[in-house]
Amino acid sequence: MKKVIHKAESRGFADHGWLKANHSFSFAGWFSEDRIHFGALRVLNDDIVAPKMGFGTHPHDNMEIITIPLKGVLKHRDNMHNDWQTVVPGEVQVMSAGTGIQHSEINGSVNEELGLFQIWIIPDERNVKPRYDQKVFKAEDRQGQLQTLVTSFSDKDSASLKVHQDVKLSRIDLLENNSFQYILKSENHGVYIMNIAGNSSIENEDLNSRDAIGISETDSFKITAKSKSELLFIEVPMIKL
């Protein structure tokens, strides 16, 4: 088993006034030579956006982009949709940038901060037709069990959102002293686990809120909640850039 530990305070941080961003991997003005990616996972940003503020229209291409709102109201608009799309906690948004897309993301509230994870996955197919999707995932469906959010188009799971890469994004909420055994898709995959909240232990590594661990070269691992915990799993093929 191979492990990499990323404590919350070791992340890159940028304070733009209207945006406070924590970067798990090199992004924008923050660069760390040993934190470029974890397999096909290229970006995991933990953002807080001030009320009525956001990211103006900007382009992307050849990237699978996944957004998980944690608090507040996200408003999304792109050149495939003329109307603003509302995305709130409990929903997940996916976007295949493919041949190119222009989009805007703003805080849709006038008085509440917007908190979200934005995840970029390197696709296994380039220059696909751009697409957008979002879906509701009920919190009760991840109590003590794995709730799958995103998988590949080739995966038979019909309840998950789809992207152009052999990934599995999932969440679980565990009560204190509860355990869960995570089983990987294949020996060529690794899992990047973000401890969203609470305290957990994964393979004898203690994780507090926003600590993360990347695990590869194994077929399974055990998670034990030391307090009520919420965890996000990003399983990806361990490609090399």
What is the Cα–Cα distance from 163 to 90, expressed in whole angstroms?
A: 19
Question: What's the whole-number mean pLDDT along residues 17-24?
Answer: 98
Cβ atoms 100, 59 nearer than 8 A: yes
What the block records as the tokens of 89 is 């906690």
Work out the average pLDDT over 24-36: 96
Give the span between the Cα atoms of 44 and 37, in whole angstroms: 9
Q: 25 in helix, strand or coil? A: coil
Structure tokens of 107? 């805080």
Residue 128 makes CB contacts below 8 A (sequence gap 6+) with 96, 98, 99, 164
DSSP lists the bridge partners of residue 200 as 207, 225
- What pLDDT does 48 receive? 98
Rg for the chain, CA atoms, rounded: 17
pLDDT of residue 152: 98
Question: Which strands sit side by side in the sheet containing 19-23, from one edge to the other?
Answer: 12-15, 19-23, 41-49, 114-121, 64-71, 91-96, 131-136
How sure is the predictor about 171, in pLDDT bands with cuts at 50, 70 and 90? very high
Output the CATH code of domain 2-237.
Answer: 2.60.120.10
Q: What are phi and psi of 126, to 5 degrees?
A: -95, 160
Reported confidence tier of residue 241, pLDDT bands at 50, 70, 90: confident
- Report how far residue 95's alpha carbon sits from residue 63's, in angstroms, rounded to the nearest whole number: 8
Grade residue 82 by pLDDT with cuts at 50, 70 and 90.
low
pLDDT of residue 234: 98
Boundaries of every domain in the chain: 2-237
Two tokens, residue 15: 């304070």
Q: Assign 3-state DSSP to the chain and report helix, strand, coil percentages, each to 5.
A: 5, 55, 40
List the one residue out of 208, 210, 174, 173 whose CA is nearest residue 194: 210
Share above pLDDT 90 across residues of the chain, in percent, rounded to a whole number: 96
| Rounded Cα distance, 88 and 70, in Å | 8
> Is residue 149 over pLDDT 70?
yes
